[in-house]
Amino acid sequence: MLLLNLSRDQLHRTQEVRIVARKWYEALAAFPKTPVIIDASDPFLASVVRDHGPVTRIGFGKRPHLDAASCPTCGAMLDWSGAQFACHDCGLGAREVDSELGEMSAVERNHALAASVATYFGIDDLSKFSPRDRISTLLLGGIEISLRLVKNPSSWQEGLRSLADEPVILVVNARGVDGLDTSWLWDVDFTPLKGRYVVIAGERKLDAAYRVHIDGVGYSLVDSLSNAAAQIYRDGFTRAQALTSYTAFIDATTRVKGKR
């Protein structure tokens, strides 16, 4: 069993992180002999497996967790001053990791953890593995757009960090799979967009516009991705980067490229 992370990313679809951690802990008790691999830098996962038997702990450096100022197990304040977190009351975090890989982005951590599962099962050659595509390129309105699917605060943050020096399009919808409540936008730091050329579209463009405004980001509003592309083309650009919510990504790749 692989446990990747626990964060605030999906509060609009699940529950508070500590409640989910407790439920994972209770569920894991039903499988006492099942091998588990975790990101040992996540205090919540360390707490989930605290009483479990076969656990492989993979470390990714010290990475302070926004929801783990206090220990998920006993509630005491966590100490983040050392090489990794530590609870001096219950001892959470005291176990050594089986493999320390150093600091990585969230995407790189997930890839490394998935590869560790392949290694566990003796799978060495992943060259034929074809992951689901969350990045696509399309030609629209005279420009080339690099589309990236971002569906929760962590993926938005990763997407913002990876943007090239080109105009940026943000497309936010709020249909069922997106989550009807867009309050998650407030868990995203949009300050990396300051000083950038930003266009906002989508069914909840006003929510996104107000959020980036609070972070001091300038923007223009349009009705659709097509209109965003047309505006960027008129302003003399030939390429753009787009961060899109789930349904916006599906709409764009299906309608423009004919994908299903």
Q: Does residue 12 surpass a pLDDT of 80? A: no
Mean pLDDT score, 9-32: 81
Q: Are 60 and 85 in contact (CB under 8 A)?
A: no
For residue 259, what pLDDT is reported? 44
Report the range out of 52-66, 102-116, 240-254 with the highest average pLDDT: 240-254
Instruction: Report pLDDT for 179.
Output: 82
Amino acid at 60: F
Which residue in the block uniquely carries the two structure tokens 């003796």? Answer: 122
Radius of gyration of the chain, Cα coordinates, nearest whole angstrom: 21
Buried residues in 107-121 as b, exposed as e (16+ CB within 10 A): eebeebbbebeeeee
CATH, range 135-257:
3.90.190.20
Question: CB count, 10 Å around CB of 59?
Answer: 20
Domain boundaries, the chain: 2-120, 135-257
Which of 70-74, 98-102, 148-152 is modeled with the greatest confidence? Answer: 70-74
Q: Which tokens belong to 13?
A: 């679809």
d(CA 147, CA 169): 9
Total number of residues shown for the chain: 260
Tell me the C-alpha distance between 241 and 137, whole Å: 9
Average pLDDT over residues 142-169: 91
Cut 0.75: pTM above it: no
Q: Dump pLDDT digits (tens) for 91-127.
A: 998 778 899 998 887 778 888 998 899 888 888 766 6
